[in-house]
Homo-oligomer: A and B are copies of this chain.
């Protein structure tokens, strides 16, 4: 394929298109990229609140609704935004048209309400761009199954739509416009020293996202990593510039970086300990099987050293799932699947993590982290580590203090 112009994907979320005034601002921003010489694919969400309204209605019809009909209903919000943006672009003299998922087509699996994109043929757009189309406005979040039914990709799915289009069209970049101006070293509400990152590696972004820095849908980052799509997160509410926002990119595109990229946290965690569990093969499965079946999201797991054939098993979970976990464990005991002496729940803990690809090549990050916390008199309850992340559970009252101490320790205020 010989293309006349490079392609750019821009994605605007619900708050960025919440009303006509904001959609006009989006149109202006899109016009700037067209003027720069891009063929632009814009992916839009539903106007803020619309999808929630539709989801609410579906929920009222039936607790066990048909996911195919759910998708047909909740996908309609994006169609409205796509059409309105195309109209405003046209009014601004830009050659634009809207595309619904089935028109592109965005081919997906049949897993309704959490479908996966399988293919996005580019022939339709290639042909239109050749014939003078400057902007394709795509309704995000939706696709079509092999059976010809409308599918949706799960909440936040428009991010994934945008990245998938960028991959299929080999776009120069995928700009995700949102209500924050980038990815920060930590939450600026915790410390004013928090600094916006110019670049962050895909792997770091995945750890930060799953740890609670909810800027991008996790799947969209995974997809961008797999297809090496350069992803830029930036604010739709600020005057744009070329170095605005944060570029999420491959490790090799980051020239030099701090050992630690950021400090993440999850405030409302709980810790449960089964005291004196028999330490025999299969006991972990006997405990965590019933928890998973009850829908408890177990995060960290620690097992103490066994003494006299018995051990303590500790795990963390969201604080609002403690009652459910308690029931699941006691039911398993009643059924004779496990036995333990005591079940202790601590609902007043938080998780704090340091994340950075630099850890791979730098030893001693954990030691520095533990010392910094110790210097503040903060007791560590549970520790887990991965290749690029160290997480600890601490008493919740120390959470802000811990984040600030770690932010200082690793010098994150400096680029």
Contact = CB atoms under 8 A, between A and B. Distances in A.
Interface in A82-135: 82-84, 86-88, 90-91, 97-98, 100, 102-103
Q: How many copies does the complex hold?
A: 2
Interface in A45-80: 54, 57-58, 60-62, 65-66, 68-70, 72-73, 76-77, 79-80
A104 to B, nearest CB: 11
A148 interface: yes
A62 B76 contact: no
Contacts of A90: 62, 65-66, 69
Contacts of A150: 100
A344 interface: no
Given A102-B102, A148-B103, A80 B73 contact: yes
A4 to B, nearest CB: 24
B66 A86 contact: yes
- Report the contact-size class of chain A (Cβ under 8 Å from the partner): 20 to 34
Contacts of A20: 57, 60-61
Interface in A244-268: none
A98 B102 CA distance: 16
Given A90-B66, A103-B148, A58 B72 contact: no
Given A88-B61, A148-B103, A72 B83 contact: yes
Given A90-B69, A97-B68, A98-B69, A61 B79 contact: no
23 contacts: A20-B61, A58-B84, A58-B87, A61-B87, A61-B88, A61-B91, A62-B88, A65-B90, A66-B90, A66-B97, A69-B87, A69-B90, A69-B97, A70-B87, A72-B79, A72-B98, A73-B79, A73-B80, A76-B76, A76-B77, A102-B102, A103-B148, A103-B149
